[in-house]
Structure 1
Amino acid sequence: MVSRLVDSSRTMASTRQFADRTDAGERLGEALLERGIHAELVLAIPRGGLPLGRAVADALEAPLDVVVAKKIGAPGNPEYAVGAVASDGSVWRNERAISGTRTDEGYFQERRETEAENARQKAARYRGGRSAPELTDKTVVVVDDGVATGSTVRACLSQLQQSDATRIVLAVPVGPPDTIADLEAQVDAVVCLETPPGFSGVGQFYADFGQVSDEDAMAYLES
């Protein structure tokens, strides 16, 4: 993609607390429509992105599907991402974390292959036998419930950059300013409702940020 359109809404003085993921998705849908952004397809990142994706897809009157990535955890610390990989093998490398944890290339590539297969299996399970959606010449909106480091989002966007989609828009309720600025370089537009300087975690912006089960998440694809 040659041109980049930055389309972010930023409230720095105060932070909004969303009632739950559906509330956040409804507000995202409104924000997209206010900006004149329409799409032929909405892709949610499971699991937490699906309640929002359902609301956004309904607002845009577009079909809903998934884009899946898995985190690549550091040696001995699987919760700390040294990268992430999408279901097609597209990878994002956190070079600073790789260096800081002394992650060697053999370990990284081994985990990449394992997690890419996990992502493929998850995408297939969520689709229930349906084929992956066609992206050619479409405007695609990617939705998640928020970003912190954005590792899985970055891998998902890397996958979509390899497609023939006409336009890729990222829509999230909240994220730290530096992460959102980085993500703007990967897409044609970003709609982010809140980019607070005091960001410490996505959950702090939700009154209800409970876990979403696979069963509940998949139900949003059937609505």
Structure 2
Amino acid sequence: MLTNPITPEEFKEGQILLFDKPLGWTSFQLVNKVRWLIRKSCNIKKIKVGHAGTLDPLASGLLILCTGKFTKKIEEYQAQEKEYTGTITLGATTPSYDMETEVNESFGIDHISEEDIIGATLEFLGEIDQVPPVFSALKKEGKRLYEYARNGEDVEIPSRKVEIKEFEITEIRFPEVDFRVTCSKGTYIRSLANDFGKSLGTGAYLSSLRRTKIGGFIVEDSLDIASFENLLP
């Protein structure tokens, strides 16, 4: 974790900043906040700041920000393996596959045992075909998927290959199931939750999510905004 103040020259040459993105913030909002703080404290008119991998507003955890010349490294960090922890709620679905939208359908879960839940994780290990959520920022024909969804338009979303390296159940409190997942770039944990429910013969949605690792970077080494301000000149 960074502990010493960073100079304007160091920001321009390039810094890797690890942040613990708070719930409710978009990744874009965090980038804007950090850019504004750097410009204000360093008296810089222009500074490049970008993030390496979006986190949904309803997710918290590790977000890598790059400044100055290090923004060229963003694709390198985006491509690295990710680790997440979170909670899947069984017995219901939502259109967004998480809590951004209201429950649209309910299902029974009395037929599901703890052994079923643990066994179902094995179906998702390795390379799988995954369909991204329609409530996502991916583009089709120049339009964001969530724009189609919010307009009530049907859109066909092609599946894509992703890799689930580890899928561990850490606690079961029916209807909630806590998990830890390590996965490749491009994996949607919301889609994994939705598909996990289907594999158990019920519905499921993602009710909490936290990103804990990106490659060799861990959330324990990350900053919050107040800590970052203390590093500014």
TM-score by length of 1: 0.25
Question: Which of these two proteins has the greater Rg computed from alpha carbons?
Answer: 2
TM-score by length of 2: 0.24
Higher strand share: 2
Higher helix share: 1
